[in-house]
Amino acid sequence: MKMETDVNRFRKIVRGKIKENLKKFISSGELIGRQGKKIISIPLPRIDLPHFQFGSNPQRGLGQGEGNLGEPIDQGESQTGPNQGKASDKPGQHALEVEVSLEELGDILGDELGLPRIDNKGKKNISQKKYKYQGLLRNGPESLKNFKRTFKEALKRQIGMGDYSSSNPIVIPIKEDKRYRSFKVEDRPEASAVIIYMMDVSGSMGEEQKELVRLTAFWLNTWLKLNYDNLETVFIVHDAAAREVDENTFYHTKESGGTLISSAFKLCEKIINEKYPASEWNIYLFHFSDGDNWSGSDTSDSFHILDTVLLPSCNMFAYGQVESRYGSGQFLKDLNKHYGDDNEKIITHSIKNKEGIMDALKVFLGKGK
C-alpha cells in the first residue's frame, strides 16, 4: 500500500526522535504508566516543518456566543466536536503521541546504549517440543498430500514410460507417485527468565531513592523483555525482615525499621528453590539499597548466601546503590572488597541521581549476561 511507505518513513523519523530524547525519557519517568501489554505511547514534540510564521503575540481571538464583557469563556469546550464536519487543515498545537511497540523501544535502548544481546548460556536444555513440517514421505494421510510433487512424480513416470503426449497433456498420478508432507518433532529452546527485584525500604530510603529504583527497573524490564520470550518479575521489599509484594506495593512501601540485607537474600533463595529452578530459568537478581546494613555480621551472612546459593544459580547479581542523605554506602564497599573484580556475575553500581540511570543501565546490561 502506498500510504504504508509514507507511514514507515514517518515512523523512522519518530524512531530517530525517540533516540534523540532517550536520555530525557530515561531520567524523567515520563514513560512510566504509559505502557500497555505490547505497546507504549510516547509523547513527542510535534514534528513540524518550520515556516515563516507569526509568533505567539499576546493571546487573542474571536468567539461567538452569549456572555457579558469580562466573563470568562469556557476553556473546556472541545474545539472539534464529533459533528465538526471536516477535519481542520491546520495542525493542532498539541504534542504528538506515537505508539511504539515495547520491542521497538527495547531495540532503541539497546542501540543507543550499545547493549550486547543477552547470551543465555547453560540453559540450552530448556526446551519446548514443537512440530515442524519438513521433507516428504511416500506414505501419509490424504490430507497432507503434496499435490505439486505428486503430479511432478507422475509426470516423470509418464514421460519415462512414454505415456505422455504434449498434445494431450493428461497426467494421472498412481499410488507410487503420491508424496506426503512429513513432520518432525523439534526441540525449540525457549528462553525464560525471572527478574527478582529486591529493595531496601528501611527508613533511610526516601521517595527520591525509590523513584530512581523504579525508573531503573522500568528500563531493565524493557530490555530483558526483548531478550526473553517469557519474563517474570518478583518483587521483594525488606527492612529487618523481607516479604514478597506486588509491583505497586514494591514502590510505595514505607517502613521505618533497621536493615538486614540477609533477610532479602534468604527469601530470594526460598523463592528460587520453590518456583524458579536454576536449570530452567535465567535468573536476574537486582538489589537496590542505600548501602546501610545493620551490622558487619549480617553483611558476612549475606555474602555467605550469595556465595553458596544465589551466585551459582543466577545469571547475574546486580547491586544498585542509590544515594541517600542517611545511607553510609558501606555495603557497596563491602561487596567490592569481598568480590573484587574476580566474580563476573556480580555487578555493582552507584546511582547518584536520575542522570545516572543511563550509566547504571549500561553497567548492568553491558556484559550481555
Partner 1 sequence: MALDSRLTSELTPELKDIVQEIEAHARNCGLDFFPTIFEMVDYEQMSEIAAYGGFPTRYPHWRFGMEYENISKSYEYGLSLIYEMVINNNPCYAYLLRSNSLVDQKTVISHVYGHCDFFKNNYCFSFSNRKMLDEMANHGSRIRRYIEEIGHDEVENFIDVCLSLENLIDQHGAYIKREETVKLRTSTFDDDLSKLQNTVLPKLPSHRSYMEEFINPDIYLKEQKKKIQKEREREKSFPENPVRDVLKFLLDHAPLNSWQRDVLTIIRQEAYYYAPQGQTKIMNEGWAVYWHSKIMTEMMLKDHEVVDYCDHYAGIVQMSSQKLNPYKIGVELVRHIEKRWNRGQFGVEYFRCDDPSVRQQWDSKQNKGREKIFEVRKLHNDITFIDEFFDEDFCDEARLFTWAQDKRTGKTVIENRDFLSIKKQMLDALTNFGQPIVDVVDGNFKNRGELLLEHKHLGKDLKIDWASECLKNIYLIWSRPVSIRTVLEAETRLLSFDGVQTKIAKD
Q: How far is the CB of 224 from partner 1 (least distance, A)?
A: 29
84 is an interface residue for partner 1 by CB under 8 A: yes
Beta-bridge partners for 317: 285, 346
Residue among 54 and 131 whose Cβ is closer to partner 1? 54
Integer angstrom CA distances of residue 153 from 118, 169, 176, 179: 47, 15, 9, 8
Residue among 16 and 277 whose Cβ is closer to partner 1? 16
Q: How far is the CB of 43 from partner 1 (least distance, A)?
A: 14
Check if the beta carbon of residue 23 is closer than 8 Å to that of residue 53. no
Helix or strand (DSSP H, E) at 132: strand 127-137
**Contact region with partner 1 (CB under 8 A), list: 83-91, 125-133, 134-142, 333-341:** 83-91
62 is an interface residue for partner 1 by CB under 8 A: yes
Q: For partner 1, which residue of 33, 45, 61, 169 counts as binding (CB under 8 A)?
A: 61
First to last CA, the chain: 41
3 is an interface residue for partner 1 by CB under 8 A: yes
**Contact region with partner 1 (CB under 8 A), list: 47-55, 172-180, 285-293, 319-327:** 47-55
Q: For partner 1, which residue of 33, 37, 38, 75 counts as binding (CB under 8 A)?
A: 75
Please give the DSSP secondary-structure letter assigned to residue 310: I
The C-alpha atoms of residue 365 and residue 357 are separated, in whole angstroms, by 12
93 is an interface residue for partner 1 by CB under 8 A: no
Check if the beta carbon of residue 202 is closer than 8 Å to that of residue 241. no
Beta-bridge partners for 40: 35, 100
C-alpha cell at 303: 555474602
**Length of the chain measured in residues:** 369
Q: For partner 1, which residue of 33, 38, 45, 70 counts as binding (CB under 8 A)?
A: 70
Residue bearing cell 536493615: 259
Q: For partner 1, which residue of 24, 37, 45, 82 counts as binding (CB under 8 A)?
A: 82
80 is an interface residue for partner 1 by CB under 8 A: yes
33 is an interface residue for partner 1 by CB under 8 A: no
Check if the beta carbon of residue 355 is closer than 8 Å to that of residue 27. yes
Comparing CA positions, the residue from 90, 95, 93, 105 lying closest to residue 11 is 105
The C-alpha atoms of residue 268 and residue 20 are separated, in whole angstroms, by 38
Check if the beta carbon of residue 187 is closer than 8 Å to that of residue 127. yes
C-alpha cell at 309: 546459593
Residue among 7 and 174 whose Cβ is closer to partner 1? 7
Q: For partner 1, which residue of 28, 30, 34, 47 counts as binding (CB under 8 A)?
A: 47
Q: How far is the CB of 18 from partner 1 (least distance, A)?
A: 15
101 is an interface residue for partner 1 by CB under 8 A: no
Residue among 11 and 145 whose Cβ is closer to partner 1? 11
The residues of the shown chain that bind partner 1, judged by CB under 8 A, are 2-3, 5-13, 47, 49-75, 77, 79-87, 96, 98
